[in-house]
C-alpha cells in the first residue's frame, strides 16, 4: 500500500476518533447502574419541582374576554388560535427577568431535590437551541438564550438533579398534530380515528433527534418526563424504542411511564408490569388512596393550572401542600409540585409564599421525609406514618386536644420524642387496644407536627 494512502488512512482514523471523543467519553463516564442503584437518588428525593414554562406563559390563559378552561398551557387549543396566530407568541418570547440560579435556589430552599422543566410542551416551541428545528428559543424568540442550558448549569452548581419534560404531542409540527389546525377540536386529541399518517416521520426525524439533543448536550439528565402518550399516532413500539434510545445515551437516566402506552389514565399507573417501558407511575392531580408497591410520583399544581394563569386564584394552602407531601411519602411516592412562571420569567408571588412555607417545614422535619418509606400501618385518623432506619415518624395533622396521641398498638417503642425536641422523652404506654403517647398541649408546628418513635428491636 502506498505510503500516501496509508498516511491518509491514519489521518482519517484520527479524525473519526476525535469526533467520537465526546460520545465515547460520555458513554464511558456512565457506569451502568442496577435499576435499584439508578432509582436510589429519585426514591430518596421524595420532592421535586415541576416547571411549566413556554410561549403560553405570555398569554396567561386568556384571549380578549375569553378565559381558557383548565390549564393555560393549552391556550393554543382552547383559545382557538391558528398556527399562524399562535406563532407570534414564540416570536415575542423574551423573559428578561429569567434567573436560573434564583429559580434553583427557590426550589432548593423549599426542600425540593430535583427540577423537571418543560423543554417543549404541546405548543411545540423548544426552550433549547435545537438543531432539528428553528421553532426554538434561539431562532424564533428574541431571547436568544438557551434556557435548558442555563437551568442545567444552575442545577449542577446547586446540587439539584436536572430533569426534562418532553411532549410527544406537537400542535405546531405538520407531521404531528399541526396538520389538524386551524379546525382542530379537542375531542380529536385522543380519537383513534384521527391520526397523522406522517407521524412516524415526525417520530423518527424530529422527536427522537430532539430527545437525543437533550440527552447529549446538557450533561446528566436525571429524569426524562414524557407526556402526550395518549394520542393514537404514538405506538408502544415507538415508546419502547425511545426508552432504549435514552438509556443507550445515558444509561442511568430515569424515564417515566408516559414514554410508552401502559398508563391506564389519570391514576397514572401501569397495570401490566413488564409489558410497557417506563420506570415510575405518574398519578396526576391525585394521590392514591393507599400505598402502591411500585415507584410512583404524583404531579400537582398549586392552583388549577400548569401554565401561568393570573385568573386562576384557586390556590391550595401551604398547610394543604405540606399535608399532601406527607400523605404521598406515607404511601411510598414522590411529590412533583408545579410552578408556572409568567412570560417575564418570574414565579408567581403566591407560589413563592408556598415554597417558603414548605421550605420552613422541610428544614425542621425533612428527616421524616427524605429517604423515608411507606408506612407499614393503616393511616391513622389524625395524620400519617412514615418510616426510616428503625424509626416510625407520626405526622400529626390534628393535634390531640387532650394531650394523648393514640397510635397503632403494634408500634413497639424504645424512645419517643418530638422530632423538633429530641432531648425531651415522651411517656408511652401500650394497652390492649393502642399505643398512647403523652404529648404537649400545644403542637410544636402550626401545620404538621412530627413525633419520632425509635422502635424497640
Ligand atoms: O396536557 C398536559 C398538561 O398540559 C400538563 O402538562 C399535564 C402535567 O403532567 N400533563 C398533560 C395532561 O395530563
Q: Indicate which residue's Cα is closest to atom 5 of ligand 1.
A: 306
Greatest alpha-carbon pair distance for the chain in Å reads 97
Cis peptide before 182 (omega within 30 of 0): yes
Atom of ligand 1 nearest to the CA of 230: 13
**Do 392 and 363 belong to one domain?**
no
Ligand 1 centroid to Cα of residue 46, in Å, is: 20
Q: Between the CA atoms of 227, 232, 237 and 243, what dihedral angle is there, to the nearest 10 degrees?
A: 0
Q: Say if 24 falls within a structural domain.
A: no
- Statement to judge: residues 390 and 361 lie in one domain: no
Same domain, 172 and 239: yes
The total of structural domains in the chain comes to 2
Domain membership of residue 15 (yes or no) is no
Residues 174 and 288 occupy one common structural domain: yes
Q: Give the residues across from 62 on adjacent strands.
A: 67
Q: What are phi and psi of 40, to 5 degrees?
A: -55, -50
List the beta bridge partners of residue 300.
337
Q: Residue 401 sits in a domain of what CATH number?
A: 2.60.40.1180
**How many angstroms is it from 300 CA to the middle of ligand 1?**
10
- Closest ligand 1 atom to 284 CA: 9
* Sites in the chain below the pLDDT cut of 50: 1, 16-29
Task: Evaluate whether residue 19 is within a structural domain.
Answer: no
What residue ranges in 113-232 does DSSP mark as E strands?
114-120, 161-167, 223-227
What is d(CA 145, CA 382) in angstroms, rounded to the nearest whole number?
49
CA atoms within 13 A on the CB side of 447: 19
Residues with CB under 6 A from ligand 1: 71, 73-74, 227, 284, 299, 306
Q: Which atom of ligand 1 approaches the CA of 282 most closely? A: 9
Question: According to the model, what pLDDT value does residue 9 have?
Answer: 57
Q: What pLDDT is recorded for position 8?
A: 58
For residue 355, how far is its CA from the centre of ligand 1 (angstroms)? 21
HSE, side-chain direction, 13 A CA sphere, residue 304: 10
CA angle 410, 416, 417 (to 5 degrees): 145
Closest Cα to residue 212, out of 178, 237, 238, 248? 248
Residues 199 and 305 both lie in one domain: yes
Residue 37 has what pLDDT?
98
The torsion of the CA quartet 192, 197, 202, 208, rounded to 10 degrees, works out to 60
Atom of ligand 1 nearest to the CA of 306: 5
Rounded to the nearest whole angstrom, what is the distance from the C-alpha of residue 71 to the centroid of ligand 1?
A: 8
**pLDDT given for residue 27 in this prediction:** 42
Count Cβ atoms within 10 A of the Cβ of residue 371 and give its class: 0-12 exposed, 13-18 middle, 19 or more buried. Answer: middle
Three cell numbers at 8? 491518509
Ligand 1, pocket-test mutation among 56, 225, 266, 284, most atoms within 8 A of CB: 284
229 and 201 in a single domain? The answer is: yes
Residue 91: domain span: 32-368
User: Does the residue 390 lie in any domain?
Assistant: yes
Residue among 404, 413, 411, 408 at smallest CA distance from 438: 404
CA of residue 226 to ligand 1 center, whole Å: 10
Same structural domain for residues 403 and 257?
Answer: no
Instruction: Kindly state the helix (H) or strand (E) to which residue 86 belongs, with its residue range.
Output: helix 83-86
pTM: 0.93
237 and 127, same structural domain? yes
What dihedral angle (degrees, nearest 10) is formed by the CA atoms of 14, 15, 19, 21? 10
Q: What is the CATH number of the domain that holds 136?
A: 3.20.20.80
| Domain presence at residue 147 | yes
> Best mutation site among 68, 71, 116, 163 for ligand 1, i.e. most ligand atoms within 8 A of its Cβ?
71
Question: Is residue 26 in some structural domain?
Answer: no
- Evaluate whether residue 2 is within a structural domain: no
Most ligand 1 atoms within 8 A of CB, residue of 48, 306, 308 to mutate: 306
In a domain, 293, yes or no: yes
**Is-contact 452 422, C-beta < 8 A?**
yes
Q: Are residues 51 and 191 in the same domain?
A: yes
- φ, ψ for residue 214, nearest 5 deg: -65, -35
Clarify whether residues 269 and 416 are in a common domain: no
Give residue-wise pLDDT tens across range 301-343: 999 999 999 999 999 999 999 999 999 999 999 999 999 999 9
Same domain, 239 and 306: yes
Distance 166 CA to ligand 1 centre (A): 11
Question: For position 2, what pLDDT does the model report?
Answer: 54
Q: Please, how many CA atoms are within 13 Å of residue 151, restricted to the half-sphere of its CB?
A: 27
Which atom of ligand 1 is closest in space to residue 74's alpha carbon? 4
Q: Are residues 325 and 450 in the same domain?
A: no
Amino acid at each position: 500500500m502506498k505510503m500516501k494512502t496509508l498516511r491518509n488512512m491514519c489521518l482519517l482514523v484520527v479524525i473519526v476518533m476525535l469526533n467520537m471523543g465526546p460520545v465515547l467519553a460520555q458513554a464511558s463516564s456512565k457506569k451502568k447502574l442496577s435499576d435499584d442503584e439508578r432509582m436510589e437518588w429519585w426514591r430518596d428525593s421524595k420532592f421535586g419541582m415541576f416547571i411549566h414554562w413556554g410561549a403560553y406563559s405570555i398569554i396567561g390563559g386568556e384571549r380578549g374576554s375569553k378565559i381558557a378552561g383548565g390549564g393555560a398551557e393549552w391556550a393554543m387549543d382552547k383559545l382557538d388560535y391558528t398556527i399562524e396566530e399562535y406563532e407570534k407568541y414564540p416570536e415575542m418570547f423574551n423573559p428578561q427577568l429569567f434567573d436560573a440560579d434564583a429559580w434553583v435556589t427557590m426550589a432548593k430552599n423549599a426542600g425540593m431535590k430535583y427540577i423537571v422543566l418543560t423543554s417543549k410542551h404541546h405548543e411545540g416551541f423548544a426552550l433549547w437551541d435545537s438543531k432539528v428545528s428553528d421553532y426554538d428559543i434561539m431562532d424564533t424568540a428574541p431571547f436568544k438564550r438557551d434556557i435548558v442550558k442555563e437551568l442545567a448549569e444552575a442545577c449542577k452548581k446547586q446540587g439539584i438533579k436536572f430533569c426534562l419534560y418532553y411532549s410527544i404531542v406537537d400542535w405546531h409540527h405538520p407531521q404531528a398534530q399541526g396538520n389538524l389546525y386551524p379546525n382542530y377540536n379537542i375531542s380529536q386529541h385522543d380519537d383513534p380515528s384521527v391520526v397523522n399518517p406522517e407521524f412516524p416521520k415526525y417520530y423518527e426525524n424530529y422527536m427522537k433527534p430532539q430527545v437525543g439533543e437533550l440527552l447529549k448536550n446538557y450533561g446528566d439528565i436525571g429524569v426524562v418526563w414524557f407526556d402526550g402518550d395518549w394520542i393514537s399516532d404514538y405506538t408502544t413500539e415507538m415508546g419502547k424504542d425511545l426508552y432504549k434510545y435514552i438509556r443507550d445515551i445515558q444509561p442511568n437516566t430515569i424515564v417515566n411511564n408516559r414514554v410508552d402506552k401502559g398508563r391506564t389514565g389519570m391514576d397514572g399507573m401501569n397495570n401490566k408490569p413488564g409489558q410497557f417501558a417506563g420506570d415510575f407511575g405518574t398519578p396526576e392531580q391525585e394521590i392514591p388512596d393507599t400505598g402502591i408497591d411500585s415507584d410512583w410520583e404524583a404531579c400537582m399544581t398549586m392552583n388549577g393550572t400548569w401554565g401561568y394563569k393570573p385568573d386562576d386564584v384557586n390556590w391550595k394552602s401551604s398547610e394543604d401542600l405540606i399535608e399532601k407531601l406527607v400523605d404521598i411519602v406515607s404511601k411510598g411516592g414522590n411529590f412533583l409540585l408545579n410552578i408556572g412562571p409568567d412570560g417575564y420569567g418570574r414565579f408567581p408571588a403566591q407560589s413563592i409564599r408556598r415554597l417558603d412555607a414548605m421550605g420552613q417545614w422541610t428544614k425542621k422535619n425533612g428527616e421524616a421525609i427524605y429517604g423515608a418509606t411507606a408506612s407499614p400501618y393503616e393511616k391513622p385518623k389524625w395524620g400519617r406514618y412514615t418510616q426510616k432506619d428503625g424509626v416510625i415518624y407520626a405526622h400529626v395533622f390534628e393535634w390531640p386536644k387532650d394531650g394523648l396521641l393514640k397510635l397503632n398498638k403494634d408500634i413497639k417503642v424504645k424512645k419517643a420524642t418530638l422530632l423538633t425536641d429530641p432531648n425531651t422523652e415522651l411517656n408511652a404506654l401500650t394497652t390492649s387496644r393502642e399505643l398512647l403517647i403523652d404529648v404537649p398541649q400545644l403542637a410544636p408546628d402550626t401545620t404538621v407536627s412530627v413525633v419520632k418513635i425509635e422502635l424497640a428491636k
